[in-house]
Structure 1
């Protein structure tokens, strides 16, 4: 994901904002020349989608020209905004299929004047009336939040998709946020909120990781019927590019100093640098002893919490010295990386500990679908497919709408068939179709299929069919 921070200025000061220590009283803007440079870097690697953010991006003095450049060069984009902007700017936004406006919505009493609250809602109405893809965002930062205003907006505007999150720490920990322990204390409140959203026919999205074990609670049973919550437990590959072509990662992440886009031959190389530095914390610092024998950590599906929380234990400043070490060993790379999924190395000792843990928990909560699902995942990696099948079938009998268990059940049947006959092309093709339903990201899908593939088992045509992810999902 390429996030272009076109300005450091924001016309609001939200208590929870994890950009708060990067905002400036005067606008530090990205120049049009630098913006064109970013688009050139993207085009060189066939990247045609970017995120436009700030600060408040609509406050950029040349915002109209920036949007026109994106449109003229046929870039698709998501615009992040607080909604406090001149309504006339909306006419610059094209209602293209892949363009979207994501507006972060706050309680009415947090706006500096009633006029700002009215302006935000007027802009929402105008965006929707223009047929522009629109998503409302909500960040929970209070232990006992009143989100009635958000539910009312869903009903008023007939929304079918929203984005939510729990407040994360800023780089200097000066904003209002939940720490790792408080994330778990918010489970019941969060579950009640999500239930209200789903009951209104809305699909819930979030873009920052939550520990998979947060959802072991029966409070989330109803959510798991519709959503595989465990697939949102890792940071995605991302790179933030700001004024002066400054490079950084997530605002909750580490402090990158004096690192610039032009230090790299490509966005791919820059992303590999950021990934390597983030991985020094992401995959080595654990916030809970439960991470040690967790199947989702083992599978590379959960990084064990927000990197911002991990920095509270082990922080690091990244500068030119780190960049020099990286460039001395890094090849010139092309092909923008799409995920951070780590190769899986089978460790039966860890998996057997996880089996013991989930089995013990199930003795106290025998009908919890998430526990059964987690146990089934352990058996998958141990290649005890009959045991995994029993777990998923039990979920289907007791929780008919738990869709992800049905996909895993079908997947395990195909793995069992392949275990019996590695040349079973029909099972391989079915496995591909199942994975395409489970994983939205084609690169993650490819990696998953390759995990079970065997060199030399297929002819070129068959193997290409098996691992080809560029297909329309059914």
Structure 2
């Protein structure tokens, strides 16, 4: 079972221009201590002992250390997505953190102090033997990943790099790469794959790509299935700070809370069975050729991004 994903807070200490979460309904929402404790107890009842913390930036939650202590006391294993700008005083609570996905953007967008903090935190995470997955979002044609490769070479606990193209927010206020423009980024993406593999690391895709985006030769030559080409899917269950359940990119999907369900699988089915998500996945076409594509007809391809389908509602 995949680890449940909790948006600990919608707040962030960065303002990345490609961030697709800019359209979140309640920008300053963060989970309360009682709700977090209720969630942990509910997950324990389901015999689920792993939780992934998302944001915003989860570490800027006003009670982050206390929340980690609650999770530690109940022997939860924690995964986390972070921009690595947290202060050293929280490291003592990292007891049961097993993996951190570190979102690193272009280094010239950070101050020198921020750059140093990221590198210092990576060094501490290496000492703590906490695995780090570096994440790089491509949103410019001239974007370099040299800084990502340079960081990856320094630390033994970095074994994989997650690559993705910037996806749209529902309000289209972020910088993103439209499906109509991804063909011009394909060579760039494939080149980055080779660069990452040249230093002995693996590549993962975060969100789905249409299978037709790549040729059969490219799929085989770059071993794209192992990177998540045909396995990633839009519509996974998320838990909002108020415990309501959602699905990217629809953070206000329903008022039903995760604790309203008798099991995690029941909550997942509720998301899977959502008629609007189902319609966008398999009825709305990302490209004209999707209309007759067997992969879409047999539901083995969700297309590019549900957010883009929702925005343009192509038929």
For 1:37-436, list aligned pairs within 5 A.
37-94=38-95, 99-111=98-110, 113-158=111-156, 159-216=158-215, 218-219=217-218, 221-224=220-223, 227=226, 230-235=229-234, 238-250=236-248, 252-253=249-250, 255-256=252-253, 258-277=255-274, 278-314=277-313
8 Å Cα contact 2:261-2:267 kept in structure 1:
yes
Q: Deviations over 1:362-416 (max 9, x none)?
A: xxxxxxxxxxxxxxxxxxxxxxxxxxxxxxxxxxxxxxxxxxxxxxxxxxxxxxx
More moved, 288-297 vs 126-135: 288-297
Distance in 2 between the 1:87 and 1:106 partners?
21
1:95, CA displacement in angstroms?
6.0
Change (3 A) 1:267 1:240: same
Q: Alpha-carbon deviation of 1:189?
A: 0.6
C-alpha separation in 2, matches of 1:229 and 1:4? 22
> Could you state the TM-score of these two structures normalised by the residue count of structure 1?
0.60
Asked if 2 retains the 8 angstrom alpha-carbon contact of 1:246 and 1:259, the reply is yes
Structure 1 unaligned spans of 5+: 316-474
Distance in 2 separating the partners of 1:121 and 1:246: 35
Instruction: Confirm or deny: 8 A CA contact 1:239 1:274 kept in the other structure.
Output: yes
5+ long unaligned stretches in structure 2: none
Q: CA deviation at 1:233?
A: 4.7
Q: How many residues align?
A: 309
* Between structures 1 and 2, the one with greater strand share: 2
- Higher fraction of helix: 1
Does the C-alpha gap of structure 1 residues 40 and 171 become closer, same or farther in structure 2, counting only changes over 3 Å? farther
- Cα offset, 1:306, TM superposition: 1.1
RCO comparison, higher one (Cα < 8 Å, 6+): 2
SS at match of 1:187: helix
1:348 maps to what in 2? none
Measure how far apart 1:12 and its partner are: 0.6
Separation in 2 of the partners of 1:225 and 1:307? 21
SS at the partner of 1:256?
Answer: coil
SS at match of 1:50: strand
Q: Determine the structure 2 residue equivalent to 1:320.
A: none
User: TM-score, normalised on structure 2?
Assistant: 0.89
Q: Which of the pair has more CA radius of gyration? A: 1
